[in-house]
Amino acid sequence: MAGNSQNKHFISEVYFETYGCTANLNSSEIMKGLVKQAGLEITNNIEIADLIIINSCIVKGSTQEKIRRRVSDLLKKGKRVVLTGCMPRLNKKKFLKKENLFLLDTKRATDIIRLIQDIVNGNCNSSCDKYLKPNDEIKAALPKISSEKQIGITQISEGCLGDCTYCVVRLAKGKLFSYPKEKILKSIKRDVEAGCNEIWITSQDNAAYGNDISNKDGKKKYLLPELLENILKIKGRFFVRLGMMNPNNVLKILPELIELYKNPKMFKFLHIPIQSGSNKILKEMNRKYKIKDVLKIIKEFKREIPEIVISTDIIVGYPGETQEDFLKTLNVVSKIKPEILNRSNFSSRSGTPAADLKPIKPRIMKKRSNQLMKLHLQICKELQKPWIGKEIKVLVDKKGFENTWLARTSSYKLVAVHSKENLLGKRINVKVKGSSPHYLLAETIK
């Protein structure tokens, strides 16, 4: 990058911080790839960095506040910061005109080099907002750098079809924009050829993929089954982990989806957010399904694929949630027995319809949240018991603590394998010796 060490605009070393979902992680990997391709260095030492790029998340208010404080502290130290992700568009009035802070919209991640060039040349000051205008971009088949050598993340779309009353992400991400199938397949092939054993498919709602694309007859289709079928045909030894899908869109493709999940390359892992067990609350949230739809989906998946691991999301204390509503949520969780439960206490987000609603009392919300946590802990313990003493095959994808390696079963169950040997990337047979609520403990079979 043009410049010299005497030039205050000079940029050579770039430091990255990423918050939030796998889509954000994928975005950061792409920005790293573009930065490296442009001849800059990526450093793990924030002290020597000429520029810090923070990829932000706004799903939770606590995370947003943490990022705001982080940016403020870095600016006080005289650091130059690029803030990207979901925060800039929704908080631009708070951030514009801050010296050494540059904003990049979540839909302009691929413009990172243009922004850096403008900073270097002094063409983008603290009032510069030209990189805040959203632009549908394709975040696939681009150069990327990942710290996870075994895992390749590919985003297939941006935005969603929903209009949930509590969701602030939709304000930042906008409506659904599906990426071309050819670009997605090219991205995945590249990851497989680079040695990735796991391919993670991510977006705000994977099941909606393609519904923004009209056919020749003008009708729109759900194209996820077709896309998955093509992904599974890619040559190589790898597993596919399909990320979050909203129930109303899963229903449209349920039979095809179940058949595709039977493919040996598919992790038997289903992430389907429920948010509440009460139809009344779901309607007020503007979710487009009823609890009977969720139960139908999970029942049919479990009937055809008994080992499937269920992951779900629950919001506790949505405004107007009565004790009866909450008990319905506990009842649904008891029925579906999710192995993974992402629990969030309702947080009012500015700009959303739910922000104007009367909140639940904090003590009631806390009590309900603790009840849900205890129930889930009990479910997890019950789910782990049958695995004790079993011999299973796992794929090792990460280094754990001390002499342990983190591995996954074909149903994406987490297994901590004890071994002094380097097992990264290996498919091995292990014997389960014990468990914690959230993972199995195993040893290699000699």
pLDDT tens for 114-129 read: 999 999 888 876 667 8
Residues 309 and 426 in one domain: no
Return the pLDDT at 127: 62
pLDDT tens for 85-104 read: 999 888 877 787 788 999 99
Per-chain mean pLDDT for the chain: 93
In a domain, 136, yes or no: no
Final residue of a structural domain among 385, 407, 436: 385
Residues 98 and 35 in one domain: yes
Burial string for 16-34 (b: 16+ CB within 10 Å, else e) reads: bbbbbbbbbbbbbbbbbbb
pLDDT band of 3, cuts 50, 70, 90:
very low
Percent of the chain's residues with pLDDT above 90: 80
Residues 427 and 341 in one domain: no
pLDDT tens for 135-146 read: 889 999 999 998
Residue 368 CA to its chain's centroid (Å): 26
CB 232 within 8 A of CB 259: no
Neighbours of 72 (CB within 10 A): 12
pLDDT tens for 353-394 read: 999 999 999 999 999 999 999 999 999 999 999 999 999 999
CB 94 within 8 A of CB 82: no
Q: Who contacts 324 (Cβ-Cβ below 8 Å, separation ≥6)? A: 278
In a domain, 3, yes or no: no
Return the pLDDT at 6: 38
pLDDT band of 323, cuts 50, 70, 90:
very high
Residues 310 and 343 in one domain: yes
Do strands 404-408 and 414-418 pair parallel, antiparallel, or not at all (unpaired)? antiparallel
Q: Reduced to 3 DSSP states, what percent helix, strand and coil does the chain have, rounded to the nearest 5?
A: 40, 20, 40
Return the pLDDT at 213: 82
pLDDT tens for 62-81 read: 888 999 999 999 999 999 99
Residues 225 and 187 in one domain: yes
In a domain, 254, yes or no: yes
Find the domain containing 97 and state its range: 13-128
Residues 193 and 243 in one domain: yes
Residues 375 and 400 in one domain: no
Return the pLDDT at 287: 97
Helix spans in 337-414 (H): 362-384
Q: How far apart are CA 423 and CA 404, in angstroms?
A: 9
In a domain, 1, yes or no: no
Residues 65 and 85 in one domain: yes
Residue 415: CATH number of its domain: 2.40.50.140
In a domain, 134, yes or no: no
Q: How is the beta sheet containing 269-271 ordered, strand by strand?
A: 269-271, 309-316, 340-345
In a domain, 124, yes or no: yes
In a domain, 135, yes or no: no
3-state secondary structure of 151: strand
Residue entry with tokens 């079963």: 409
- Per the document, the length of the chain is 446
Report which of 293, 245, 236 is spatially closest to residue 269, judged by C-alpha positions. Answer: 245
Residues 76 and 213 in one domain: no
In the chain, the number of structural domains is 3
Return the pLDDT at 4: 37
In a domain, 211, yes or no: yes
CB 413 within 8 A of CB 392: no
Residues 250 and 336 in one domain: yes
Residue 353: CATH number of its domain: 3.80.30.20
